[in-house]
A and B are shown apart, each in its own frame.
Chain A
Amino acid sequence: MSFGQRVDLALADKVLKVAVERTAGTAEAKRALAVEAFPAFEDARTRAAAIKDHVIAHLGHYLEMFEANAIAAGAQVHWAQTADEAATIVVDLCRKAGAKSVARSKSMLGEEIGLPHALAEAGIERVETDLAEHIIQLAGERPSHIVWPAMHKTREQVSALFRAKHRDPHVEETIAAMAESARRHLRAEMLGADVGISGANFLIADTGSICTVTNEGNAELSVVPPRVHIVTAGIEKIVPSLPHAIHMLRMLARSATGAALTQYTTFYTGPKREGDRDGPEEMHIVLVDNGRSAMAADAALKEMLRCIRCGACMNHCVVFRQVGGHAYGGTYPGPMGAVLTPALDGLSANRDLAHACTMNGRCQEVCPVKIPLPTLLRGWREKSWREGLEPVSMRQGLGLWRQAVLRPRLYRMASGATVRAMRLLARQGWIARLPFAGAWTKYRDMPAPEGGTFMAQYAKGRRR
């Protein structure tokens, strides 16, 4: 399906609009309050961006430090160049552990490397333990938001889904009863898993720890009881030390949900140690590159590696708010997805993403790590133009226009003629159908030009 087709589907779906507006609208309002209550949030953004820029500039140094410290803590570290390599490593580890089922705590990197698909192919049962991911799994869909994967569904739709799929569904039509229904359904499956898989919000270089944040405690319940814990993490998740992680956590929670902190913030350092009462016997950390090293070396993209996956950019994006996440077509939606998807999945099939943006700058304004998203999107537009991916009509139209813009006398003639022609089409000051601009007049009227360009009237001596 093309981008345009996905957009048409999304715009026709009035329930989707309600669902997106409820969640993103609440997130927008709560974030604004959280930022207002945070002294010098602007300075905190600057510091967060500086922390990320520093580690991106010294990625190798900190990754080696992380690896050494993780191994010292008893974990095993694996390196994956590509998405396929990463998925294969995880599946092989599951097989080696003799896993029939895995409990998985929501991770967008897992989506990026195609882990749900790879596990299914290997015949390993996957239990999604995040409530929203559970909803998505029951519905057989893909996440539409990086923080709220089931954002596109209303609670009414979720209720119907639970009634159809849960063994012992809720009776009362309340959110609490629905959550209980999911808990009854998930608990047994979760605790019976052979392997727990999580992502990582941060990798702490000087301790070799990984950090997860959740609001449901499902990460802890997914990875502590099973014998094996597998972590998949993008290499850009690294921070030098715990204080840096704490700073990023303060930015992450506020930017994502407006909360000061998530309900559960857990640091995991190695597997179960002697004397520990619980914990996995093996901890494997799969560090995934999948294009990130190349991005770090690309001046037009490296700032994207600052991203901490808070979702603020999409929550505040006028386009996302209208079309939701699935319309973007990639793993990551919204402004950050529009920058990442061409890097991950190729530009030619995704050139629309960079263009379907009004360049209003709101995403950059709310980004906790100050990623200049509009600039990065413009970079993709330039690459698309350079590589000849832009439609011929656009190239030719802009080419002719440029010829006129660079020749003021020709430009005056052309603009004068355009004004006269447009006035012929006007009725009482408005044009209801304009040839060559039907995309405008399909939805709105075009005000007719006043008559006579400013430059022509000024040249004739008019001054007011």
Chain B
Amino acid sequence: MSRPSVALFVTCLVDAMRPAIGFASLKVLEEAGFDVIVPPGQTCCGQPALNSGDHDGAVAIARATIACLEPYDRIVVPSGSCGGTIGVHYPELFADDPAWLARAEALAAKTHELLSFLDAQGWRPDGVALPTTATYHDSCSGLRELGIKRQPRALLSAVGELKQLPLKGAETCCGFGGTFCVKYPAISNAVVEEKAQAIEDSGAALLLAGDLGCLMNMAGKLHRRGSSVRAFHTVEILAGMGDGPAIGEAS
């Protein structure tokens, strides 16, 4: 009997900045019993256009993404933010366009954020150990648009010898906000400065999250402060890649 399949929407940031997250996703999805397909026409979900007010641009990109992904049974995204764009905002974009609304809703219904998808499958990392401490930041879109809170922590608790430490203000935005961080850099900096302080105060050696944008913001601030805290996407830890280079460490 053939295995069920998932299509991996790798996201534009992972594609360009940290392919390791994509390869970690391939690995764990295969371990969870899926054949993984990488749809060749994928680019970006269009969130920069959506959040900049470019409605027509967002609609054009959403149509292209829907056409690219709708042939597959289920789609998995290693980002709560991009997952939220497809799962929550695509249908909003087509509120006045019944034909496309139906397609957007169909895609939204079968699109899943990676960590919550793995948890829902009952999958847990098997034989993965990492003797260190980690703290977890809840990225806003995943937390509030998709209800991702318990799942990544449950998955990480199956990683041997990894101690999870609480992060004060774990649900407080890190100040990334997509284009916000370059449109209002001083405000963004004030926010991420507090976040970096809280991360350092947690005493953890690793910072984990489920969204590369937020991770780049926090890791970049931690590095500028001279902090020794290292940052990974959660799936890299689950795939047993936590002994490799962290975000910003030369490979």
Contacts and interface: CB of A to CB of B under 8 A. Distances in A.
B214 to A, nearest CB: 10
Interface residues of B, number: 71
B182 A440 contact: yes
Contacts of B189: 442-444
A381 B173 contact: no
A191 interface: no
Nearest to A429: B250
Contacts of B61: 402, 405-406
A7 B187 contact: yes
B16 A453 contact: yes
Contacts of B91: none
B181 interface: yes
B166 interface: no
Interface residues of A, number: 69
Main secondary structure of the interface of A (DSSP, over half): helix
Contact of A458 (B18, B22, B92, B143): B22
Contacts of B187: 7, 11, 319, 322-323, 356
A454 B20 CA distance: 8
Contacts of A426: 250
A345 to B, nearest CB: 19
B55 A385 contact: yes
A375 B51 CA distance: 10
B172 A318 contact: yes
Contacts of A65: none
A457 B180 contact: no
Contact of A447 (B41, B54, B60, B219): B219
Contacts of B176: 358
Given A386-B55, A458-B38, A408 B43 contact: yes
A322 B52 contact: no
Nearest to B68: A408
A27 to B, nearest CB: 15
Interface in A297-322: 318-319, 322
Contacts of A445: 220, 223-224, 248
A418 B13 CA distance: 12
B3 to A, nearest CB: 15
Contact of A415 (B16, B50, B183): B16
18 contacts: A11-B190, A318-B172, A358-B176, A358-B178, A360-B140, A361-B144, A378-B51, A398-B48, A401-B48, A402-B49, A415-B16, A439-B181, A439-B182, A439-B185, A440-B181, A448-B248, A453-B15, A455-B42
Interface of A: 7-8, 11, 318-319, 322-323, 354-362, 364-365, 375, 378, 380-386, 390, 394-395, 398-399, 401-402, 404-406, 408, 411, 415, 418-419, 426, 428-430, 437, 439-440, 442-455, 457-459, 462-464
Interface of B: 10, 12, 14-20, 22-23, 26-27, 38, 40-44, 46, 48-55, 57, 60-61, 64, 92, 140-141, 143-145, 171-173, 175-178, 180-192, 216-217, 219-221, 223-224, 245, 247-251
Given A360-B144, A440-B220, 6 more contacts: A319-B184, A319-B191, A358-B191, A359-B180, A402-B49, A443-B188
